[in-house]
Amino acid sequence: MADTGKDMLLYWGSGSSPCWRVMIVLEEKGLSDCEKKLISFSDKGHKSDEILKLNPRGQVPTFKCGDLIINESFAACLYLEDTYKSQGPPLIPSEPARKANVLQRMFEVPSFTKKAMEDLLYLYMFKKPEELDQEKMKKGKAALKEELAMWEGYLVKAGGTYLDGGGFTMADAFFFPTLAFLVRNGLKLGPTFPKLAAYYDAVSKRPSVQKSWPPHFKESEGKQHLADVL
């Protein structure tokens, strides 16, 4: 009999890429019955005493598995893959060359996130229009376009639907949530990046992704901050 997620607890926020990747992995590993508590960022739910007792950084995901507390999304995902390896599809291949490729893509995601989110999108989200340095924004857009071209090239080289070229892997679980957040905020992938556009369409239809899709993405449209990037 497969293990379940009944002794697990995940505090998460809707739209958070780190939370979403953990939720995707939970679905892939057949652990969808993990207890999940949705917090409100606007109400500073991530700074509540309930979460701070488990995660002194006051961040989500905050993940409890039995007596273990794992609060970094990469760590939580890797723990789930290692502990429940026999459940669901293998998210990290055993074959050395494929494993190396998947690990490489996984750990490139923070660089993608920095250029896309910290160096560009967050400025639109958290600054007033008159506070934006237009020259800095122009450079940020150019850097994001270069970064997207790199990931387009990875998909061309892989020659398949997913980043590995074979099946869905941990690299996709790590990368897709950030890409989806950019698309929600106006990024148009096609026709400049046809492989990324096809990738987005395919992964967005995957059951684990659909089941964990951020609720507010379904309820409202995002801003068009990135509509003029490409």
Whether 229 and 115 have beta carbons less than 8 Å apart is answered as: no
What pLDDT is attached to residue 125?
87
Residue 99 has pLDDT above 60, yes or no: yes
Please name every residue paired with 9 in a beta bridge, in sequence order, or none if there are none.
35, 64
Q: Where are the beta strands (DSSP E) in 50-146?
A: 62-65, 68-70
Phi, psi of 159 (to 5 degrees): 75, 20
Q: How far apart are the first and last CA of the chain?
A: 49
Higher-confidence position of 131 and 219: 131
What pLDDT is attached to residue 1?
40
Strand arrangement, sheet containing 62-65 = 35-39, 8-13, 62-65, 68-70
pLDDT per residue as tens digits for the range 197-228: 999 999 999 999 999 999 998 888 888 889 98
- C-alpha 158/C-alpha 154 separation (Å) is 6
Tell me the one-letter amino acid at 31: L
CB atoms within 10 A of CB 7: 13
Query: Domain extents for the chain?
Result: 8-84, 96-219
Of the pLDDT bands very low, low, confident and very high (cuts 50, 70, 90), residue 3 is confident
Enter the CATH code of domain 96-219: 1.20.1050.10
What's the rounded mean pLDDT across residues 185-195?
A: 95
Nearest to 222 by CA among 188, 175, 171, 197: 188
- C-alpha 27/C-alpha 64 separation (Å) is 16
Instruction: Calculate the average pLDDT of the chain.
Output: 94
CA angle centred on 114, ends 127 and 36, rounded to 5°: 85
Domains 8-84 and 96-219 share a fold: no
Enter the CATH code of domain 8-84: 3.40.30.10
What pLDDT is attached to residue 2?
54
Residue 167 has pLDDT above 80, yes or no: yes
C-alpha 132 chain-centroid distance: 26
Residue 166 has pLDDT above 80, yes or no: yes
